[in-house]
Amino acid sequence: MKTICFVSLGDLVATKGGIHRVTNCLMSELEKTGYRCIYLFYPLDESCYYTNNVEDEVHRLSTGQVEDYLNREKVDVVVYQQAICSMSFTKLISSFKSRRFKYISVFHSSPTIYEKTFTLQRLWYNFLNQGGFLTKVSNFVRILAYPLWKRRLIQGTGKMFATNYDTSDKCVMLSAKDIPMLSHYIKRDVSDKCVTIHNPLTFDRIETAECLSCKRKNVLIVSRLNNFEKRIGKALKIWKKIEADGFNDWNLYIVGWGLQENMLHNLAQKLKLKNVHFEGRKPSEPYYRDASIFMMTSAVEGWGLTLTESMQTGVVPIAFDSYPALHDIITDRYDGCIIPDNNLEAYADCMEELMRNREERERIAKNGLVSCRRFEINKIVEQWVKLIESL
């Protein structure tokens, strides 16, 4: 029986975010196939590690104790879930005296994430809203030297990706379309180590077509309220047009929380939106059951679990064409709708068409209930087993 150690940021809470939901699903299903799975996590400052999903002194490991822990647990494969945003753990295992395990790095977002989300607007927001004199000075300097700072950011991103790639036995990308982008940042061919495994469905069941009879005139967003990545502000501006065009019997529900929550509340008030409901941090499944249309307005995603969640609950997903993996999930006008990136007018027109035409909504929703079966957990785990056994 092989032991697989998943490594990620923060204790494993399935409702915390996409990486946690996927990790929880994979560990559960891999154990059913005969593997032993353990979880090792680190806090935000990456100063130490914790075992058994418990953050206390009993389960705390210093960085110098991690090698002994992995050897003691006889770990065969380490799956590093944070390759897109950190290289600290990778550098740590590179310092080990010997390494008996195979190392898999998983890139859970598009390699373009930093280039697309660290905008000048974001720096201005940080300058105006983040406290502390030194923080403000740092952000102001970045604004003044923005082109140079952005170039150094991209170079640093490439260095981080290269470190994770070079140390790994295999790298998992969520879409084959992300592999050339990784090559672009690392500045060499990466096809030798990269494999593509999509994320699995994360809800326990796929609804039947009967669920469509219970749908209400609800539009849903499930997202962290991080406006620079998720662009919820664009969704509110789209909704402004929806209300202006007279769709007053439809409601928009936003489920989630985040750093820009107050800003988005203020924007909704400024736009004088009437039928927008910020629901906060709540279980999302009841909202999917009631919703007819799902909105995604992200600048970039790795996969977009909320799209497959909407498909398996009979909700029609609409998304901007802003990241490569979107086309692995949605076929435009078949099981969802893809809108040219940043075209708010086209997005609103598509929504209004679906709002008017229940027959079209249900046609697309029914197709989604079928096509999402491509991502059933047993099919995804088969690919993971194949990868693990090939090492």
Q: For residue 342, which of 307, 297, 303, 306 has the smallest C-alpha distance?
A: 297
The type of residue at 185 is: Y
| Predicted confidence (pLDDT) at residue 163 exceeds the cutoff of 90 | yes
**Strand pairing category for 49-51 and 36-42:** antiparallel
> For residue range 173-185, what is the model confidence (pLDDT) as tens digits?
999 999 999 999 9
pLDDT of residue 252: 98
Which helix (H) or strand (E) is 162 found in, with range?
Answer: helix 146-167
* DSSP secondary structure string for all residues of 56-94: SSTTEE-GGGHHHHHHHTT-SEEEETTTTT--HHHHHHH
The type of residue at 307 is: L
Could you tell me which residues are beta bridge partners of residue 226?
Answer: none
CB 267 within 8 Å of CB 194 = no
| Predicted confidence (pLDDT) at residue 6 exceeds the cutoff of 90 | yes
Dist CA 224 CA 348 (whole Å): 22
| Predicted confidence (pLDDT) at residue 133 exceeds the cutoff of 90 | no
Q: What is the mean pLDDT of residues 183-198?
A: 96
Tokens at 191, concatenated: 């096809």
> For residue range 75-91, what is the model confidence (pLDDT) as tens digits?
999 999 999 999 999 99
Q: What is the mean pLDDT of residues 136-146?
A: 91
Q: For residue 285, which of 332, 220, 234, 212 has the smallest C-alpha distance?
A: 220
Q: What is the mean pLDDT of residues 344-355?
A: 98
Determine what percent of the chain is predicted with pLDDT higher than 90: 93
Phi, psi of 340 (to 5 degrees): -50, 135
> What is residue 330's three-state secondary structure?
coil
> Other CB atoms closer than 10 Å to residue 33's CB: what's the count?
12
Instruction: Tell me which residue has tokens 């002194």.
Output: 57
**Strand pairing category for 276-280 and 293-296:** unpaired
> For residue range 288-315, what is the model confidence (pLDDT) as tens digits?
999 999 999 999 999 999 999 999 999 9
Q: For residue 127, which of 101, 146, 99, 148 has the smallest C-alpha distance?
A: 146
Dist CA 298 CA 231 (whole Å): 5
| Mean pLDDT for the chain overall | 96
Q: What is the mean pLDDT of residues 262-286?
A: 96
The type of residue at 73 is: E
pLDDT of residue 46: 95
Tokens at 207, concatenated: 């609804």
Whole-number Cα distances in Å, 24 to 13, 14, 53: 8, 6, 12
> For residue range 233-251, what is the model confidence (pLDDT) as tens digits?
999 999 999 999 999 999 9
DSSP 198: P
